[in-house]
Amino acid sequence: MKYYAFRDLTHDGNADGITSYHAAGIVVEVYNEKATFSGKDLVVSFIEPFGDTVTSTWRTYSEVELFEIDEFTYGLVQKFHAKVSNI
């Protein structure tokens, strides 16, 4: 099984009305192995930088840059997401 981190390329976040950011996090599900026109290729998860909440949403391959990571690193990010969710 492959594990991925991602950086959003197209969706500008604007959490505090001033600061713009691109989300980064992990891919929690690969829905389609190849890009489709449905807009539902990947389910990604990231921590909102100003809200301390974890967001999961759909992304297409063209909307993100993927980085393969090892299982240990992926697990650490998952645990951190779980910790933030319980705050």
pLDDT tens digits for 28-70? Answer: 999 888 877 777 899 999 887 766 788 899 999 999 999 999 9
Q: Into how many domains does the chain fold? A: 1
- Residue 26 exposed, middle or buried by CB count within 10 Å (0-12, 13-18, 19+): buried
CA distances from 16 to 10, 36, 44, 46 (A): 19, 33, 22, 17
Domain carrying residue 65: 3-85
Alpha helical stretches, state H, the chain:
71-85
CB 57, CB 8: distance < 8 Å: no
Please give the model's pTM, rounded to 2 decimal places: 0.79
pLDDT at 18 over 70: no
